Amino acid sequence: MRLVRWSVVAVAVLAVTSSVQAAPATFLGPTPYLQATDSPIAGTGFAYFWLEDFEDGALNTPGVTASAGYLTTTTYPASVIDSVDADDGTIDGSGNAGESWFHSAGATGITFTFDAGVLGSLPTRAGIVWTDGLDPVTFEAFDAGGTSLGTIGPVSIADRSFTGGTSEDRFFGVLYNGGISKITIRSGASAGIEVDHLQYGAAPIPAPAAVILAGLGAGLVGWLRRRQAF
Euclidean distance between CA atoms 18 and 146, whole angstroms: 23
Stretch that binds Ca ion, among 38-46, 63-71, 88-96, 116-124 (CB under 5 A): 88-96
Q: Give min distance, CB of 35 to Ca ion, in A.
A: 9
- Is residue 52 involved in binding Ca ion (CB under 5 A)? no
**Which residues inside 102-141 make contact with Ca ion, applying CB under 5 A?**
131-132
Euclidean distance between CA atoms 68 and 58, whole angstroms: 13
Name the residue among 72, 194, 90, 84 with its Cα closest to residue 133: 194
Query: Could you give the C-alpha distances from 119 to 62, 102, 193, in angstroms and in order?
Result: 7, 25, 27
- Is residue 54 involved in binding Ca ion (CB under 5 A)? yes
**Residue 113: count of CB within 10 angstroms of its CB:** 15
Q: Give min distance, CB of 183 to Ca ion, in A.
A: 18
- Is residue 39 involved in binding Ca ion (CB under 5 A)? no
**Among 72, 83, 124, 184, contact with Ca ion (rule: CB under 5 A):** 83
Name the residue among 214, 194, 206 with its Cα closest to residue 76: 194
User: Which stretches within 65-207 are classed as H helix?
Assistant: 116-119
User: Among residues 169 and 202, whose Cβ is nearest to Ca ion?
Assistant: 169
Amino acid at 48: Y
User: Among residues 38 and 87, whose Cβ is nearest to Ca ion?
Assistant: 87
Task: Give the containing element (helix H, strand E) for 13.
Answer: helix 2-20
Euclidean distance between CA atoms 126 and 148, whole angstroms: 14
Euclidean distance between CA atoms 56 and 73, whole angstroms: 12
Q: Give min distance, CB of 127 to Ca ion, in A.
A: 14
Q: Give min distance, CB of 38 to Ca ion, in A.
A: 13
Binding mask 159-198 for Ca ion (x = CB under 5 A): x-x------xx--------------------------x--
- Is residue 88 involved in binding Ca ion (CB under 5 A)? yes
Q: Give min distance, CB of 121 to Ca ion, in A.
A: 27
Q: Interface with Ca ion by CB under 5 A: which residues?
A: 53-54, 82-83, 85, 87-88, 90, 92, 94, 98-99, 131-132, 159, 161, 168-169, 196
